[in-house]
Chain A
Amino acid sequence: MDERLRQSFDHIRAGENLKSRTSAYLIRQTGHLRRIRSVRRWAAAAACALALTLGAFGGWLFFTPVSAISVDINPSLELNINRFDRVVSVDGFNEAGNQLAQSLDLRFVNYTEALKRLLADAEVQAYLDQGEGLSLLVVCDDQERSGQMLAQVEGCTSVQRNVHCHAGGSENSAEAHAVGLSCGKYRAYLQLKELEPSLTPEEVEGLTMREIRQRIRDASAQEDAPAETPKPSCGAEGVSSEEASSKAPEASCESKAEAGPHGSGSGQHGQGHGQHGGGGKHRGNHG
């Protein structure tokens, strides 16, 4: 029986045709699967590449500053701001500026919040109480954005005295940073240099903004003394037409109390303002 069964089963064999059909079937199926796997692999790789690209682009978008606010009182620092109005880095331009930048957590907050934190700082408040002028310069090449930022900065500082808000382009930024000055201080330096051609950036570095402005006023007063007719006030626009035409792209807003808490410098204010090249509004808060 065993042998009969064995011999009988032996007649059942897989024919060559069956094997050929099966081979063809396997090639078809595995080729299809390989294609699917290949497509999936490529899709996964493409998705990863896209995610990386988007991540890198997003990172670039977020971490690239498009504007800055130069904050100068005696501590001198710059807030670098991205297109989403967030502070992405803070650069100090003197020792006090570095210390202030390190003591305050300003990164990744909205620049208005950063300014509020700065103004609330005890050291800054102490400077303001001593009658030092705080200069806030919005550095941005996009005029529309610059105007919006200046309005925001003004809003943040509306209750503060001795605050000067300006806006301007970044054309002097590289030069300013090359000589170790913030944009705001460099701008003041350039104004003073027009009146005192021998002035060097090193001399300005140690001066407070109030001292620089005082020197600008003094030098201007000396220059204009014979024909000087002091302007009563900077008025709504705060600048003479001659000055305005020569500095048209810039805007500034300056506190009336700039010369000190006692308002003693109001007569000079118009000059200082004009020298500063601003075409902005007059806003202030008398002490």
Chain B
Amino acid sequence: MAAAITTAAKPMRGEQEANRAMEQYADTVWRLCLIHLKNRADAEDVFQTVFLKYVLSTAAFENEEHEKAWFIRVTVNACRDLLRSFFRSHTVPLDQLADLPADVPEDHREVLDAVMALPAKYRDVVYLHYYEGYTAPEIGWMLKKNVNSVYTLLNRAKKQLAEMLGGGADG
């Protein structure tokens, strides 16, 4: 059960609170960054930006779920902003390969490569649905997308992954 996190807005969060949030949400934020941007350097920039936004944010969270949803929304928006930025769109090759960890077993690397080969809008929903366990309405609320669009994205992503990974999409 999610515990109450913060009840009152403060001017700036302290180091302790930042470390606690990092322990709790670092993996989620990092995966979203890497999946969305497919580049470690950019992912790290956004990762740090997200936690800086958290430290400077005056938002008060009702519980852990609320706080986690905030991190997901802010991370996806920060990734989109980076991709939209003039500098990056003119300097990063579009066909850049995913910068995945070296120690991933071959079988899982194949899956991750398949996910990374999907369009960016598919990758976010795939991760949020299959790993984080969010439903389509929850993903729609977090990413400010229509629920039906989320269903469509999930179905198309699933179909494409099945094609790339040679069946087993129903698994």
Contacts and interface: CB of A to CB of B under 8 A. Distances in A.
Chain A interface, DSSP helix/strand/loop, else mixed? helix
Chain B interface, DSSP helix/strand/loop, else mixed? helix
Contact of A12 (B15, B51, B100): B100
Interface string A139-174: 000000000000000000000000000000000000
A34 B55 CA distance: 12
A2 interface: yes
B111 A22 contact: no
A8 B101 contact: no
Question: In this complex, which of A4, A7, A9, A25 has the most chain B Cβ atoms within 10 angstroms of its Cβ?
Answer: A9
Interface stretch (B19-27, B63-71, B79-87): B19-27
Q: On chain B, which size bracket covers the interface?
A: 35 or more
A18 B26 CA distance: 9
Contacts of A25: 48, 52
A1 B171 contact: yes
Interface in A71-85: none
A107 to B, nearest CB: 47
Interface in A21-36: 21-23, 25-27, 29-30, 33-34
Interface stretch (B2-10, B126-134, B142-150): B126-134
Interface string B5-45: 00000001001001100110011011100110000000010
A283 B119 CA distance: 104
A8 B103 CA distance: 11
A120 interface: no
B67 to A, nearest CB: 17
8 contacts: A1-B161, A4-B171, A5-B115, A6-B131, A13-B101, A18-B44, A22-B22, A26-B48
Interface of B: 12, 15, 18-19, 22-23, 26-27, 29-31, 34-35, 44, 47-48, 51-52, 55-56, 100-101, 103-105, 107-109, 111-112, 115, 126-127, 130-131, 158, 161-162, 165, 168-171
